[in-house]
Amino acid sequence: MPAANALQRARTKPYGETFRCPGGALCLDFCNSGQGARNRNGVEWLADCGDLLVWLEAAGALGAAQAKRFDEAARAAPARAGALLARAIELRETLRQVFEARVRGETPPREALARLESEHARGAAFARLAWRHGRGVWELDPSVTDPDALLQPIVQSAFELLTSEALARVRRCGNPTCYWLFIDETRNRSRRWCEMASCGNVLKVRRHRERARAAGARGG
C-alpha cells in the first residue's frame, strides 16, 4: 500500500488491547503499550509512525485533525519519522525503567533520568501555557506540525507524575506475567491488578484450581 495511507492503514489494524492500556496517566498508558507488556511474546504494537499517531489519538493526546497534519509531515520526511519512532520506543523503555524502579523502592538510573530531561527540553519548544478549568495547563500547541513535537504530551505527563503525590501510588500488576503499571486510586491502596476483568480473574481462577487440586490430593 502507498505510504500516503499510513495513518488510515494504522487505524484499521486489528490491535485488540493495544489502546486499552489503562494506567491512570498518559505516560503509564504508554509504558503499557510496550512490547510484550503482557506476555513477552515479542510483538511490537507500535511498528511504524502511523501506529504511534493512532495510539496518541486514541489516548486523547492528539486530535484527529492534528494527527492528520502530523502524518502528512511524517510522510514528507520518512527518515525523520523513522528516527522519531526509534526515539519513542527508547522513551517508552526509559519510562519503564524509571517507574519500575520507583515501584521497587529504588532510585531510577541517572542515565534514564537524563534521557527524560533531554526529551523534556526538546518538547518544551512545542508546548504552550493554556487555561483549562480554572488553572494553567502546559500542553502541546495544537498548531504545531513538526514530528519532533509528538512525544511532548507523554514526557509532560511523566514529569507531572514524577513530581506529584500520586507517584507513591504507582503499582505494577500483581500478575507475575503482566508488566502493566497503574496508579492505585483506591482509598486503602488495595488495588492489585491492572484490570480485574483480565489479570484479576485469571489469577483467581488459577488459585481456585490449585486449591481444588490440593484438596483432591489430600482426599485421595
Could you state, in order of their start, the residue ranges of all structural domains in the chain?
Answer: 3-219
* Highest mean pLDDT of the ranges 19-28, 72-81, 175-184, 207-216: 72-81
Q: What is the pLDDT of residues 38-53, one digit of tens each?
A: 445 566 788 899 999 9
pLDDT score of 190: 83
Whole-angstrom distance, CA of residue 85 vs CA of residue 42: 17
pTM (whole model) above 0.85 = no
Q: Which residues pair with 132 in a beta bridge?
A: 135
pLDDT band at 34 (very low <50, low <70, confident <90, very high): confident
| pLDDT, the chain, mean | 82
| CA contacts within 13 A on the Cβ side of 3 | 13
pLDDT score of 212: 46
CATH of domain 3-219: 1.10.3300.10
pLDDT score of 196: 64
pLDDT score of 108: 96
Q: What is the pLDDT of residues 70-120, one digit of tens each?
A: 999 999 999 999 999 999 999 999 999 999 999 999 999 999 999 999 999
Say if CB 75 and CB 6 are below 8 A apart. Answer: yes
Instruction: Kindly state the cell numbers that stand for 126.
Output: 512545542
- Select from 137, 149, 157, 129 the least CA-distant residue to 53: 149
Query: What are the E-state strand segments in the chain?
Result: 127-132, 135-140, 170-172, 181-183
Whole-angstrom distance, CA of residue 69 vs CA of residue 143: 9
